[in-house]
Amino acid sequence: MTHKTTPLHLKIGIGFLVGLVLGLLVHYGIGSDAGWVQALTRYVTQPFSQLFLSLIFMLIVPLLFSALVVGVSEMGDIAALGRIGWRTLAWTIVLSGIAVLVGLVLVNIFKPGVGVDPVLAQQLLTESAERASAIVRDSQTSATGLQMLLSIVPQNVIGAASNNANIIALMFFALMFGVGLVLTRTPQTEVLKRGIEGLFEISMTLIGLVIRLAPYAVFCFMFNLAVLFGWDLLIRLGAYVLVVVAALALHMLVVYSVALKLFTNWSPPAFFKAVQEAMLMAFSTASSNATLPTALKVADRDLKLPKKVSRFVLTIGATANQNGTALFEGVTVIFLAQFFGVELTLGQQFMVMLVCILGGIGTAGVPSGSLPVVALICAMVGVPPEGIGLVLGVNHFLDMCRTTINVTGDLGIATLVSSGEHGEDVVPESTDTQT
């Protein structure tokens, strides 16, 4: 008789609800000023949540570096495929950039994080700043304007890796390193590539172990926040979920539709009907990697794409084309900044956008693969990383939604790249076979 274990996302949901309910009871029944409540949060729940974040930050540099390098170096056939590889890269960057822009526009218009008691928000911000590392403090005095753009190119890669406030410089180096691997095809670089792939696999294994602590961490996060903010927390969280879902829907139904209409022979309704099986699989599994076999089948059977294109684009896309994830990261960072009363300049929001685009390439195609990147960006712009506790409880549902966008985007880019490739354009009538 086999013992069925409770899924991790269900455990996280339980931790979220229990922490929220207990926190609300304390907030309205006892008050956050009670001595034992302050002792509990100061010496138990806060340290544990900080430990969880520290474990994530410990692994973020090897994870992001190896994921970005592997994601770019998997375009190893660019030299052979030529136009296909570069068009894939171009569409990935363009659509990811538009996705983040859509998210940032909506979150700035609707401001889901605005409305909490500024005194309480500042109190939590001050407490977090005292416990945070120099990462957060340094990020608040980071360069702006031209200096900020110039700082993207690191003078010292090791220094950039040691300072999460300048993590975009490390990501730029990883991007260039991946391009270098693509352009240098020797037995030695193949060995190096396999070694970096091994580093990525080890990082993912360790992240998986750390994520097992998430149910307990999210309980601590939600208890602390609910004790302090009360019902304001639920109202802001509901508004945040609506903004993320609206932005994802807008990107899929409008941006993808316009691109398909302008650059292919597919009508948007016919395309979405053809890819519905892959979309349902993506929503169910919340994993681009797990959906890859279904996406390949849909590309061959329903979209009738050339195999040389679909296999190349979809395999890369499972890691390197995460439009929905990039959008989610951007909205989440701005939402948390609004919640904690952290004013971000246009330059800082532009930097968030750049990191999210690169993060979309360097985010693992597995459930909750974006959470370390969100925590990292928060630290980079001076937002308490503890804020990810706000979104952990609703993350699984949003993960299902954004993975659907990711997989749909992979198939969309494969269709865009295939259109007109050696005259092998796709035929929309193939959707008639879809059951």
CATH number for the domain that contains residue 293: 1.10.3860
CB 392 within 8 A of CB 374: no
Please tell me the predicted confidence (pLDDT) of residue 248: 95
Please tell me the predicted confidence (pLDDT) of residue 136: 39
Please tell me the predicted confidence (pLDDT) of residue 143: 45
Domain that includes residue 74, residue range = 8-433
Domain total of the chain = 1
Query: Does residue 1 lie within any of the structural domains?
Result: no
Please tell me the predicted confidence (pLDDT) of residue 237: 87
Query: Does residue 37 lie within any of the structural domains?
Result: yes
- The segments of the chain whose pLDDT lies below 70 read 1-4, 32, 71, 74-82, 117, 120-151, 160, 163-168, 318-321, 360-369, 420-435
Please tell me the predicted confidence (pLDDT) of residue 251: 96
Query: Does residue 397 lie within any of the structural domains?
Result: yes
CA distances from 371 to 99, 166, 226, 234, 245 (A): 18, 18, 21, 20, 17
Q: Which two tokens stand for residue 83?
A: 């136009």
Question: Within its chain, how far is the Cα of 59 from the centroid?
Answer: 16
Task: Look at the pTM and tell me if it is higher than 0.85.
Answer: no
Query: Does residue 149 lie within any of the structural domains?
Result: yes
Query: Does residue 206 lie within any of the structural domains?
Result: yes
Cβ within 8 Å of residue 192, ≥6 positions away? 181
Query: Does residue 332 lie within any of the structural domains?
Result: yes
Please tell me the predicted confidence (pLDDT) of residue 377: 84
State how far the Cα of 156 lies from the Cα of 152, in Å rounded to an integer.
11
CA distances from 329 to 113, 293, 392 (A): 15, 26, 13
Please tell me the predicted confidence (pLDDT) of residue 364: 54
CA distances from 45 to 8, 222, 433 (A): 20, 10, 55
Which of these, 364, 426, 379, lies nearest to 62 by C-alpha position? 364
Q: Which two tokens stand for residue 176?
A: 């260039």
For 351, other C-beta atoms within 10 Å of its C-beta total 24
